[in-house]
Amino acid sequence: MPRKKNKLFVFILTLLVLAGAGWWIYTRYFTEKEPELIVTRVKRGAIEETVLATGTLKPITLVAVGAQVSGRVESLKVHLGQKVRKGDPVAEIDSIKQRNDLAVAEANLAMSVADKAEREANLIKAELDFERQKTTFARNASSKADYDAAEVNVKATRAKVDYIDAQIKERERAVDTARVNLGYTSITAPIDGTVLAEVVQEGQTVNAVQSAPTIVILGDIDTMRVRAEISEADIVRVKPGQEVYFTILGDRVRRYTGVLSSIEPAPESIKSDSAVVSSSSSSSASQSAVYYIGVFDVPNPDGSLRTYMTAQISIILGKAENALIIPASVLETPNSDGRYTVEVQEKDKTVVKRAITVGLNNKVSAEVLSGLEEGERIVVGKESADTAQQAGGMRMRGMGPPR
């Protein structure tokens, strides 16, 4: 009999233990609980607010060196990548035609000079004849007709001399023009720079009748100019004088710095505006994104920056060191006074709402100017009941508490 009682007692005790364990598991993992708060502390650090833009690198001076006369390119004096100084020879164009033109112009000038000498001699003779006619006419030794003829001859001869003077000036200009054209056959560098492109080859014929054909392209790459495309949404916050930095696609570690020098007053799409230019493409200009061009220069002493590279640019709107920082995600719509409301967890775990003033905000972190102290805990989110239950189920399947 006592043995049966003991078995019954053990059986009942086992049932109670199993029931207790089941109730604990149910209440621990399968019942809804109050969501747990996710908090973070207010801390100090550096913050920077920037506007992002994409830009293109170009030499500060870029010149297409062209030919002003037509002819065959006899020789190129430079090669790609060569550094040249202003006045250095770049190319030679066949100059036979220009030399012949100069010779003809000089010969025409010489003929005019000789013709002038002859006309001046005739003028002296006409003036002498007129003086004799004056004397004889005064003595009634010659007729009035002879006197008038001598006077007219002087005036006509003097006019011919004046005509020759004008012709000489004209032919002197022709000689100057021919000499200049001959000089154009020797093409020189207009700036100090580097040869970036050879557009023509030796032996190629160029035609400068309608436009000046390009021989080579020179650029001053010691200083590069960056043209940053700034969206219309950001341009209202950008102004000349702000600091900028950028990286290039091939080296995202090295930063190049500069200062924004100017902002062009209109986007480049104005060039295709139908009100300015008649073009079939003008209708699409209004449908594309609008970007304004910000310009700044950056030194390039080592030549690491190359023409037409793409720059990933950050324009600094503001920055602060040792500032109070909170996650920007806790900021919602500002109040009517411009402040924001955040939830703060007090030391006794109660949550209160507090209005704060925010300074810089880069969409990741925000600078707190007033309303919070370093070390205070703010609510950044809540752990939902579903998340808690899922976590509990995972812990059960893992046969133990989370590590």
pLDDT in tens, 120-161: 898 899 889 888 888 887 888 888 888 888 889 889 989 999
Residue 284 has pLDDT above 70, yes or no: no
Strand partners, 218: 63, 195
**Per-state percent for the chain, helix, strand, coil, to nearest 5:** 35, 35, 30
Taking the alpha carbons at both ends of the chain, their separation in whole angstroms is 50
Question: What pLDDT score was predicted for residue 397?
Answer: 44
Distance (Å, whole) CA 71 – CA 339: 74
Work out the average pLDDT over 13-21.
Answer: 75
Residue 393 has pLDDT above 50, yes or no: no
Cβ pair 206, 80 in contact under 8 A: no
CA distances in angstroms from 98 to 22, 73, 187, listed in the order given: 109, 14, 14
Residue 32 has pLDDT above 70, yes or no: no
- Find the angle CA(83)-CA(85)-CA(86) to the nearest 5 degrees: 140
Per-chain mean pLDDT for the chain: 86
pLDDT band at 222 (very low <50, low <70, confident <90, very high): very high
Query: Residue type for 267, please?
Result: P
Count of C-beta atoms within a 10 Å radius of residue 403? 4
Nearest to 105 by CA among 170, 174, 169, 165: 174
Residue 401 has pLDDT above 80, yes or no: no
Total-model pTM = 0.69
Question: What pLDDT score was predicted for residue 6?
Answer: 66
Q: Tokens 């295709």 sit at which residue? A: 272
Distance (Å, whole) CA 106 – CA 93: 22
Strands 193-198 and 83-84: antiparallel
Lowest mean pLDDT among 23-32, 179-188, 224-233, 286-295: 23-32
Nearest to 105 by CA among 21, 53, 179: 179
pLDDT band at 399 (very low <50, low <70, confident <90, very high): very low
Nearest to 196 by CA among 311, 302, 308, 304: 308
Strands 214-231 and 377-383: unpaired
Cβ pair 366, 326 in contact under 8 A: yes
Go through the domains of the chain in sequence order and give each one's CATH number.
36-47+320-397 (2.40.420.20), 52-60+212-317 (2.40.30.170), 95-184 (1.20.120)
Query: Residue type for 197, please?
Result: A
pLDDT band at 394 (very low <50, low <70, confident <90, very high): very low
CA distances in angstroms from 241 to 54, 234, 286, 296, listed in the order given: 18, 16, 30, 10
Q: What is the DSSP string of 151-192?
A: HHHHHHHHHHHHHHHHHHHHHHHHHHHHHHHHHHTEEE-SSS
Cβ pair 230, 291 in contact under 8 A: yes
Cβ pair 260, 51 in contact under 8 A: no
Residue 232 has pLDDT above 50, yes or no: yes
CA distances in angstroms from 186 to 3, 75, 84, 261, 347, listed in the order given: 126, 10, 15, 38, 86
Give, as one character, the DSSP assignment of residue 77. -
